[in-house]
Structure 1
């Protein structure tokens, strides 16, 4: 027997519950007074926004969103806190070692190929991307998804892509993306996406160029906040305030860099030792691969001892060195052959250079801001602000970004794919 219950008051958002199959959760249908809506999530990533930025009184619209909904004390990024690994953890709920997108650039020894996020030919193949992103979970369960420039959105999984998608382009502004998303919300029910993902890179770009707290970076954040304000206004005008879930996150924070915080490799390693290094990945860390023709175990052992010797020469070394098998468990960054066999992690804000390539007396150090340090560093913390009919208002305890896949699955009434979420899709409010 099919039960259908509707309470409709013109101009007021209401909810109807439909029981279609006794063994399935009751499908939810909202109504804004004129149209029906399935549960909907707009998921926005403001790349590189430091959690502390929300306390600077320059983001009134994000503050409104937090006041009406939820804000986390902070969200912990996955390690390493780099753009592509974290954007994929956000939408799959998997640790980086599990989904395999270990950096923006990396070498896969099994495939003898390199991943390069700037090259479709070297990044769009679904074999690079482990796990199942939320938009594919939705599409496989007969729900519509739309994705705007999110890392990985142009790849095809199981022959499936999001019904609506926009590939990455530097020429599309955040305002343009919001217009696209609003146009999608105005589609008929059968065509309207329930998941909408938007990626916004401009704040991160300014942070790298000028530093995370430079006026140019904070101005870009203010502009993004203004666009979010316009989105909220349009959501309100459509009487969707109590229907559409809006989630705003960053993938990671950012640390300020300076030429006073440099570690000179050629002060501690001999040229013979440096010559063992074929390539490094995961900047600002040094994920080191010896030359393929070398005896890897011997080369790694030699370089490991060299970095340990270098540590001993410095009063404050400002870095740690690990063989891959010894990378601490808390990083969840060890059990994947794409991870380089030697990993050197600098302290937040510190960077490796060579004196042969950088003269502190005459050169300015760039980038002025960077990320990829310890994911538990306060400077690495990401933001989480959200509002929606199933989100209880309040301040949330800190959580790891791998929780959000299950959160969105719960809101969208999806059966989640395997993931590393521990909270069953329900973030915890702080009672203090």
Structure 2
């Protein structure tokens, strides 16, 4: 009995500690710093960019919930009516698109979960061995581009930042840890910008998940989602006020990876079809991998008969989605329209999700707001694809793009003040 009580007490302590948020001193101790790096003389004379991702922040949330600080960035700077997410409209593919200027099929992160035929291995967002393996990631992320050109960078939880892409990490970075509060993330960004010029990062990226978390659980129009939007708005306000005290040429860029749609219906894939020995990614929208051509043909024919389900062979995915990668995309790609999703097993379908066609579902629209010395004031442009963010940020920082990308500066350079730039 005594041993049982001891074990129960042990697990109680472990779980209560795990649930606690870290102090700011503990957060600083977790920071990974690459030693002996300094800004080049050229880099020290360049401006700064702080780009924050607010996961799942739909294109209309700021107006809908009157997020005053976020709206002030648009009022005092620039914005797009909507930022068109890349397909699939999932977190990992789109975050990595934002910092590489490449469609998911071209940079390699084709979903939150996918299989590589070449590696004979799955990439899954909770598999640290995969997430931290640089061989999964194509392109040249903004932080790698900066470091290669003598400009220091800092990273707070951006997708890909835990892996040594191009052989190295950001000068300052963190492995993902949910115990780091949003408040401490903002404080660390401000502290980075108060470092001596030689070691001060010019390219800073930060990530916040609370709006996406609320959207999934409650749906985009729920009071809890509004609460999450206003909480992130407060953090943006704190950042703006902190930056105003620094007297540095800092550009604030607010983006999101995708929007959010309400869901009410679910199709359970294994109940509709015998998948036999096929490999299936259920990261919405699902992908089926089947190397046996006869079995694949049978699956395809059966799936075509299911009402409300769109099924595409890998080579038949509509061209406008730019979804092509023979190694990593499934032999079959399955899609639906909101409010219906495809599931692995029966469950109650409520709240919200994303992953839908960004051109067919307006609710997949994300955000882009920017404010700073090189941005115009009070300018809004029509919806643009998120592949164009990369060349825009590179232009502000004075970085030379070294490898081909899908994004084009001319799609967004109207937002820049030519007289200043």
Q: Same fold (TM over 0.5)?
A: yes
Q: Is the 8 A contact 2:106 2:324 kept in 1?
A: no
* C-alpha displacement of 1:237: 1.9
1:301 aligns with 2:297: yes
Q: Is the 8 A contact 1:86 1:251 kept in 2?
A: yes
Q: Distance in 1 between matches of 2:99 and 2:148?
A: 15
Aligned position for 2:255: 249
Aligned position for 2:315: 325
Q: Is the 8 A contact 1:348 1:374 kept in 2?
A: no
1:262 aligns with 2:266: yes
Aligned position for 1:281: 281
C-alpha change, 1:282 and 1:266, in structure 2 (3 Å) is closer
Aligned position for 1:365: 349
**Could you list the per-position Cα deviations for residues 141-165 of structure 1 after superposition, in whole angstroms to 9, with x for gaps in the alignment?**
0000000111110111232211111
Q: Distance in 1 between matches of 2:160 and 2:123?
A: 12
Q: Distance in 1 between matches of 2:194 and 2:286?
A: 47
1:119 aligns with 2:127: yes
* C-alpha displacement of 1:401: 0.6
**TM-score (structure 1 length as normaliser):** 0.82
| SS state at 1:150 partner | coil
Aligned position for 2:206: 198
Q: Distance in 1 between matches of 2:114 and 2:76?
A: 41
Q: Is the 8 A contact 2:130 2:136 kept in 1?
A: no
Q: Distance in 1 between matches of 2:48 and 2:260?
A: 30
| SS state at 1:207 partner | helix
Q: Structure 2 stretches of 5 or more lacking a match?
A: 1-40, 416-421
More helix, by proportion: 2
1:380 aligns with 2:364: yes
* C-alpha displacement of 1:381: 0.3
Q: Is the 8 A contact 1:282 1:372 kept in 2?
A: no
1:426 aligns with 2:412: yes
| SS state at 1:245 partner | strand
1:176 aligns with 2:184: yes
Aligned position for 1:72: 80
C-alpha change, 1:88 and 1:237, in structure 2 (3 Å) is same
Q: Structure 1 stretches of 5 or more lacking a match?
A: 1-25, 30-36, 312-316
Q: Is the 8 A contact 1:397 1:428 kept in 2?
A: no
| SS state at 2:60 partner | helix
Q: Is the 8 A contact 1:144 1:163 kept in 2?
A: yes
Q: Distance in 2 between matches of 1:125 and 1:28?
A: 29
Q: Is the 8 A contact 1:98 1:336 kept in 2?
A: no
1:409 aligns with 2:413: no
* C-alpha displacement of 1:398: 1.2
Aligned position for 2:234: 226
Number of aligned residue pairs: give it.
373
Matched ranges for 1:37-186 at <5 A: 38-186=46-194
| SS state at 1:225 partner | helix
Q: Is the 8 A contact 2:113 2:283 kept in 1?
A: no
Please say which structure displays the higher CA radius of gyration.
1
C-alpha change, 1:140 and 1:374, in structure 2 (3 Å) is same
What CA RMSD, in Å, does the superposition of the two structures yield over aligned residues?
2.1
**TM-score (structure 2 length as normaliser):** 0.84
